[in-house]
Structure 1
């Protein structure tokens, strides 16, 4: 019974936390669909918390209506950086976890029938919550694609420029010269990535336009001018976002070399890239609904691996071929 009480207390607090966050978020967003549903979900979570409170009191446990303030503060704070819809994806992750925990609890053979029936209803409602957040994500597919373009640009800038700087550090003495070398790599990478993004999106846009023309021709439909106008500039927009984000990513490992000695700057750059790469890829993982921690760590470690390889290449040139720039 003691383990039940402990678990019920956790369930109670989790439901209160979700209720509070949904209520706060519903007052801060403009999207009508998500705002209305969050307000409704807050009320449902209140009912769920009451279920756990009543069962705790039946077990002789007096509970205080306390929620996880740190979690609520963090989620509200995070919304300003990742936007409403990626926050919705984060909420969806939470609902999936809740569904999994409740499903496991329902497998217990010793549950009272009335208790089991009500918990099954709660589980069904939690599944509905997950579907609401999934629908909210579908409505924001364009925003998500734009965010992913920016994050991929940042990631490429981080990895490529850090790798170049690591290689240059082992053969160039001056930290300023290393920074300038990284800047050259950053500028060339920006141009390359922007052109690549433009050509890729241009081909995709042309395909969409051809498909729209087919609909007009074969189905005798009127052309959707709003849709056509919305996709005509996709290639330029994609190139702009990727270019700007690449520059931002490149600046992270370059800046320490402007102010610090080369080996200290390299260490600081590695730490910064590890952190930023992890955060940026966490957002990508969040947007495509896969494991956040695993993706973040993998991306960060691969960035460090690239830097290590180029550093060893540069060191080999310096040690065996006696190549050095003073």
Structure 2
């Protein structure tokens, strides 16, 4: 067993036997049905070597982890327009907060808060939400060499109960940041409802660890500047009002989602995907963060050594 595999296994086993903390998300009814004790971790390096432990075949929805990929897609399509519509800066507020929009004429502070992600979703090519979502799936197919699918029950659950997200979309429309409220918000709900597992998610994120080029196919997915923007925003905004603590304790660009998934990037080395449904007070997977912290410490991965 090499040092990478040993570190991953040690982190997984340590967290697996630790007392559970946090609760599954309940504001999306379908997520409330998730088994809270699932736990999985997968790491893939730039040579395609992969190490995985736990419930690695268990599928979960991307939720806000999808925001890294929708941002990559629209940066690839029209990089110049993206940051005219959304900003670069952290908010210091929860991901669902509308407060900064009130004082900034509706412009989202960054593409990873919900308002910014909805604005980004509005830029995905397509005349309808279904067409835009198909563009999103085709993009994911490029980066994981298989086409993911949507969990229709989760999508229905989000679409039927996403009142705050619809309010944000209307706010964006009011100030002219998006054109069609329904297309933007339904595309967003669909992308969040895309199914994955940790092995596939680690594969998806690999291009972000290699300056925008998929190291296994040698295909450029995004240009270097766009890749740098995504990875930087994952560091400063990817875990919302928990980002400072993640930077100190883990030291890696991360994008979390309320299903319990986390994607972490080690530039020039590897992509890490963790999954554990119990969330802390800031909406991030408790056990997932614990595993990432242990792996980062053991392998000295922090960018801020």
TM-score > 0.5 by shorter chain: no
Q: Which has the larger radius of gyration?
A: 1
Q: TM-score, normalised by structure 2?
A: 0.26
Query: Relative to total residues, which structure has the larger strand share, 1 or 2?
Result: 2
